[in-house]
Amino acid sequence: MPFSQFAAAVTVLVIVAEFTLWRLFRRRVLPICFPHETDSSPLRFFSLTHLRLVAVVHTIFVIAVVLFPASLLW
Partner 1 sequence: MLHPKHSALSFPGKDHDEQFCCYFRQHWIRLWYHTMWWVLQMFSILVAGILSFAVLDLQETGSRRMIIAILGALFIFWNMEFLCSFYRYFLTVIIITDRKVHRIKKTLLAVDDHHSIDLWMLQDIVKRQHGVIQNMLKFGTLILEAQESQVRLHFTPRIQEHYALLMHLREKARNIAIQTQRSELLGEK
Question: Cα(28)–Cα(58) distance, rounded to whole angstroms?
Answer: 20
24 in contact with partner 1 (CB under 8 A): yes
- Of residues 12, 46, 52, 53, which one binds partner 1 by CB under 8 A? 46
State yes or no: residue 19 binds partner 1 (CB under 8 A). no
Decide if residue 11 touches partner 1 (CB under 8 A).
no
Q: CA-to-CA distance for 34 and 10, rounded, in angstroms?
A: 36
Identify the CA nearest to 13 among candidates 54, 50, 52, 67.
67
Q: Is 17:74 a contact under the CB 8 Å cutoff?
A: no
The residues of the shown chain that bind partner 1, judged by CB under 8 A, are 1, 6, 10, 13-14, 17-18, 21, 24-25, 28-29, 31-32, 34-35, 37-43, 46, 51, 54-55, 58, 62, 65-66, 69-70, 73-74
